[in-house]
Amino acid sequence: MPENKLVLPDLDIKSLPGPETILRREFANGVTVLARENFASPSVVIQGYLPVGSLQEEPEQSGLAYLTSLAVMRGTTQRTFEQLFESLESIGARLNIRAGGHTTSFQGKSLAEDLPILLDILLDVLSNPIFPKREIERLKSQHLTALAIRAQDTGAQAELAFDEIVYADHPYRYPVDGYIETVQELSPAAMRRFHADTFGSEGIKIAIVGGVKASKAAEAVEASLGAWSKRAKKAQPELPPVKSLKANTQREARLEGKQQSDIVVGCVGPNRFDEGYLAAAVGNNILGRFGLMGRIGEAVRESAGLAYSAYSVLSGGPGPGPWQVLAGVNPKNEQRAVEIILKELGRFVSRKVSTEELLENQMHYIGRLPLQLESNEGVGSSLIHLERYGLGLDYYQRYPELIAGITRAQILETARRFIDPERMAIAIAGPEEREL
């Protein structure tokens, strides 16, 4: 029998987004637009962000950026809440806005011919919100309900406990959506002040993809967002360094009436600008994503039979996001599952991944790229990604080569820089009474 050899996919590079097919323009007011044509689609998507997020709020107002981002769609100087959604529904369009830690993102979709209308609505909600009291109270009530549900979610509570360990003296400690006690105190006046201080045209990035000429898309942006000239008064602060843990640190949250425990074990990982980020991402896929959730899934779920689910996550962004292993287990198996996870992390940083593991995951990363770029939404988010992190317009054409060039030694070196199995955060959320 001939030996099966793994071969990396050979992609048609010219079919991928690149300098030849991406139009990029910067306007005098600080807005940057990226556009790519796709006339196989009658629709157009817009995706982008403003450099406004929870990093610009005070801890006692946790949730302010998040609520403000939702509230801008609740009425403007030109349109009431009802009129906003009637304007969108009349053209079969949608528009969503939501804040994170570093940015406030927006996503929209309409027929290509209605792009100017969609952009006009986007400009209106970003520049002219009025934060009407009645709508804000309704929005707060809805969000407080969501936070009450979060308080009874073992997965969410484990994540909060993890952040309190890893980011003890860092802004990432605070959840973007806030706490019940802080959200209760937020007022329309606070949202107006936050909007006035932080929203502006400077730093807006917007991608437009679909059935419209790239030059026409750029002209439409220039006529709308390009005409908004406002500089934010309050810039984002510099992030402080994250302090390393001196030993494994465990924290538990106990909830009544729960049947399952959720575990988060991890540390601070690389940000997206780190030169080892791609090696870490491929390594993470081997650790706990590939197939039935990689090595972690095999060890905790398949071999030991301890977990309902077990996988790893690498969350590299502008700042030092977490590198985590997550598992849902029977409460009586909590500590045993933690022991196995730590053992697997120790194995991961003690020796190189196998040649077969690396090749399989390189094949996966390269092979899935065309699928990621199959839809207008996928291309739009990809364009924003390369712009946000300064990757270059030719990034996706270079991507197969970048992935193919990752070595076993690079994965090991990067993993060792961040993962120390004796200095991990361990967060567990589960029932109060456990059968041990």
pLDDT, residue 3, reads 46
Q: How would you list the strands of the sheet with 322-329, edge to edge?
A: 249-255, 425-431, 261-268, 322-329, 307-314
- Cβ-based neighbour number of residue 213 at 10 Å: 13
Same domain, 97 and 219: yes
349 located within any domain: yes
Do 223 and 258 share a domain, yes or no? no
Same domain (yes/no): 223, 313? no
Task: Look at residue 213 and tell me if it is in a domain.
Answer: yes
Residues 60 and 119 in one domain: yes
In a shared domain, residues 384 and 323: yes
Tokens at residue 26, please? 């910067």
Shared domain for 175 and 289, answered yes or no, is no
Query: What is the C-alpha separation between 207 and 76, in angstroms, rounded?
Result: 24
| Residue 10 within a domain | no
Tell me, yes or no, whether 436 lies in a domain.
no
DSSP calls for 241-268: PPPPPSS-EEEEEEETT---EEEEEEEE
* 273 lies in the same domain as 188: no
User: For the sheet containing 104-111, what is the strand order?
Assistant: 23-26, 32-37, 205-210, 43-50, 104-111, 94-99
In 132-237, DSSP assigns E strands to: 205-210
Same domain, 253 and 142: no
Decide: residue 158, CB within 10 A, 0-12 exposed, 13-18 middle, 19+ buried: buried
Note whether residue 240 is domain-resident: no
- For residues 319 and 101, the answer to whether their CB atoms sit within 8 Å is yes
User: Is 221 in the same domain as 271?
Assistant: no
Query: What residues contact residue 190 under an 8 Å CB cut-off, 6+ apart?
Result: 61, 64
The CATH number that applies at residue 216 is 3.30.830.10
Are 46 and 90 in a shared domain?
yes
State residue 1's pLDDT score: 35
Number of domains in the chain: 2
> Are 257 and 222 part of one and the same domain?
no
Residue 276, in any domain of the structure? yes
Residues of the domain holding 378: 249-431
CA distance 372 to 111: 22
Alpha-carbon span 43 to 37, nearest angstrom: 11
For residue 336, the model assigns a pLDDT of 95
Residue 411's Cβ-count burial label (10 Å; 0-12, 13-18, 19+) is buried
Q: Is residue 4 part of a domain?
A: no
Residues 283 and 220 in one domain: no
Residue 103 sits at φ, ψ, to 5 deg, of -135, 160
Q: What is the mean pLDDT of each run of 10 residues along the chain (436 residues)?
A: 65 93 97 97 97 96 98 97 96 98 98 98 98 97 98 97 96 97 98 97 97 98 95 90 95 94 97 97 93 84 81 94 96 95 97 96 95 96 97 97 97 98 98 69
Residue 12 lies in a domain: no
**124 and 227 Cβ atoms separated by less than 8 Å:** no
Contacts of 319 (CB under 8 A, 6+ apart): 101, 102, 172, 239, 271
